[in-house]
Structure 1
Amino acid sequence: MNPQALSPRAKRRRRLQQRQTVIYGLLIAGLAVAAAFAYLVFSGTVPSPWTRPITMPEKIETSETMECPPEGAYSVAFGSVKANVFNSSNQQGIAVSVAGTLREYGVTVAEVGNWPKFLRTDGQLQAGKAGIVAAYTLQQVFPTMQVMIDDREDASVDVILGHTYGEQSLIKSGDFPAGVEIVPPAECVPEEEPTEDELNDGGEDLVPEDEETEAPSDGEEDAEA
């Protein structure tokens, strides 16, 4: 049939059919390529471009008691605090949101992810002895969270968001200057003083300087001689 003899309506229909043929052909070709690639990845012939190790918080020993801040401690500038934010609840996206807020305050946020355990509270601030002051500094932003101590050696703080975490758990506006005296919470436990056995670690006797006795000099006799 002579194309010029086609009516305008028939011409439009023919162009539509040609366009649909091209679109469906591209779709089928794309699906075929995707299926072939998926098969190669599944069979191990081609490594997956999305494969990456799943990172979890490092396993550390945590105390079950709330640690008191050092006596006479003062809050530090948020710019000097390094934190990690972990989600311990079934709420989606809160760790990313909280990390963004902390960055606005100047806190350096290193890791954002999920916590392996389920906390039924608003959450907790977890740090080692070197990071206790930083943890209490962040408590200005998270007033309902307790500060717990663990055995890490650096000054980082883990902000762990619990099951009951909500908008009321985070203060998003306010003035948080450095140099504010940290008042120990009533429920915190002071750090225990080392015992004499711990001080003598290894069996060596540690004698205070003011209790040291001088060895008798030449010519002196012992009192019991």
Structure 2
Amino acid sequence: MTTPGYDQARRERRRREHERQAVVFGVLIAFLAVCGIFALAVYSGAISSPFDRPFTTVGASDQKTYPVACLPEVEGQPDGALPVAYSEIKVRVLNSTEESGLGKAHESVLAERGFQVVEIGNVSDELLESEVRFGTKGIVRAYELAAQFPSMRLVLDDRKGPVVDLIIGRDYEPPLDAEDVDVAADQPLRNAEDCVPADTITPEPQIMPATANSAEDEVQPEG
């Protein structure tokens, strides 16, 4: 048989346990309520989330947003600039990645389609996305080269001649199948979305290759 003193001690212990439980559950409920209010405020746009920031990629050069040059007006082509023959387009293929063989692979496809690949090389700074770089004399040619790919950044630089550069980025996409390229000799090219006149763009500095060889030479390291 239990003694009155023992029963009293047990009741007191249970009372303290109940008090601690009430405090713990009270704190949890208050915390969940605060979280719910915060989530509702973020969802409604009243405050911005501390995690609302763009992802960055380590090891690749920052990818700026460049204005895209519109196609030029060409005398005798009132409906828009017509494509030039692929054989008239001189291309340098430059690899910005550490993956070997990309320059030769792209050169093979472009040469098969009739482009003049005049140089294969490498650039020292790695790009995330592939780019076609060109001067004001190579806008039509740049559009035609970019059309060979599912997506491509077009960057106007300060070069003087019509040669265009294909710079292969780490997240490159292979060329489209030839039959899927939207270029026809008798159809004007279409301006890129949100393009602006070339004379309103400040050209970027031309990227020079760290190593380069003519397309007929073996490239070491292979681009």
User: TM-score by structure 2 length?
Assistant: 0.53
- Residue of structure 2 aligned with 1:157, choices 136, 149, 164: 164
Contact 2:149 2:173 in 1 (8 A): no
- Which structure has the higher relative contact order (CA within 8 Å, separation 6+)? 2
Tell me the amino acid that sits aligned with residue 69 of structure 1.
Answer: L
Measured in 2, the distance between the counterparts of 1:91 and 1:166 equals 14
Tell me the amino acid that sits aligned with residue 185 of structure 2.
Answer: A
Secondary structure in structure 2 of the residue aligned to 1:65: coil
Q: Which runs of 4+ in 1 moved over 6 A?
A: none
1:135, distance to aligned residue in structure 2 (A): 0.6
1:166, distance to aligned residue in structure 2 (A): 3.1
Q: Which residue of 1 aligns with 2:177?
A: 172
After superposition, give the CA deviation of every residue in 1:1-34 in whole Å (9 maximum; x if it has no partner): xxxxxxxxxxxxxxxxxxxxxxxxxxxxxxxxxx
Measured in 2, the distance between the counterparts of 1:143 and 1:134 equals 17
- Residues 1:119 and 1:177: Cα distance change in structure 2 (over 3 Å): same
Tell me the amino acid that sits aligned with residue 177 of structure 2.
Answer: K
In structure 2, list runs of 5 or more residues that go unmatched: 1-64, 74-79, 202-223
RMSD, matched Cα: 2.3
Flag the structure with larger Rg. Answer: 1
What number of residue pairs does the alignment pair up? Answer: 130
Measured in 2, the distance between the counterparts of 1:143 and 1:136 equals 12
Q: Which residue of 1 aligns with 2:126?
A: 118
Tell me the amino acid that sits aligned with residue 133 of structure 2.
Answer: Q
User: TM-score by structure 1 length?
Assistant: 0.53
1:65, distance to aligned residue in structure 2 (A): 2.5
Contact 1:77 1:177 in 2 (8 A): no
Q: Which residue of 2 aligns with 1:84?
A: 92
Measured in 2, the distance between the counterparts of 1:154 and 1:109 equals 15
Measured in 2, the distance between the counterparts of 1:128 and 1:136 equals 12
Secondary structure in structure 1 of the residue aligned to 2:141: helix
- Residue of structure 1 aligned with 2:114, choices 106, 112, 126: 106
Percentage of matched positions with identical amino acids: 33
